[in-house]
Each structure stands twice: as structure tokens, then as C-alpha cells.
Amino acid sequence: MSIIKIKVDPDLCIGAASCVTVAPETFELNEENKAWVLDHGKNPDGSVYERTIEVTEEEKENIILAAQSCPTLAVFIYDENGKQLFPEQ
């Protein structure tokens, strides 16, 4: 398992929903047509664009795939030390 931080920049998100298609347990469109971040399908503390969750390696790879699928690169992924995993710098 690893801990990752997932952040959506709502100013960049255009509601294209490819992240939702690739990782529906992690991303959902809110009423403003922006992707918010879920923790394994759950959203206990309302509409948040940033969340730190624990994931398996497989889940992590899938979430990175989802970020790669975003046409505006609105999804940022960080490891537990704050290093940006995607987009690669």
C-alpha cells in the first residue's frame, strides 16, 4: 500500500470526465461539472478537490492513468513525501 495525494485544479478541469471513466472510485463530477476526489467511492467530507488516500500499487497506477487521460492535465498526483509523480517534472 502507499499513500498518495490527489489534487484536481478546478480552474483547469473542463469536465471532460475521462478521469471518471478510468477511475470512477476516485473521481466524480460535481454539480459544477468539475472532478472532485473520492476515497474508494466515498466522499465523507463534501466536495474536495484534494485528498490524501491509501491505495494499492494497482490502484495507484490506475489513478495515474486517469491523470494521464485528462486533456488539460488538471490532475496532480504526489507521493507521501510531497514529490510530484504526475505530471512528471
Under rule CB under 6 A, residue 23 binds ligand SF4: no
C-alpha cell of residue 78 = 504526489
DSSP 76: E
> Is residue 72 a contact point for ligand SF4 (CB under 6 A)?
yes
**Is 15 among the residues that bind ligand SF4 (CB under 6 A)?**
yes
59 alpha carbon, distance to own chain's centre:
11
Residue 42, φ and ψ in degrees, nearest 5? -110, 155
Number of residues that bind ligand SF4 (CB under 6 A): 14
The residues in 25-54 that bind ligand SF4, with binding defined as CB under 6 A, are 27, 35
Of 28 and 55, CB closest to ligand SF4: 28
Nearest to 61 by CA among 49, 80, 77: 77
Interacting residue ranges for ligand SF4, rule: CB under 6 A: 8, 13-19, 27, 35, 70, 72, 74-75
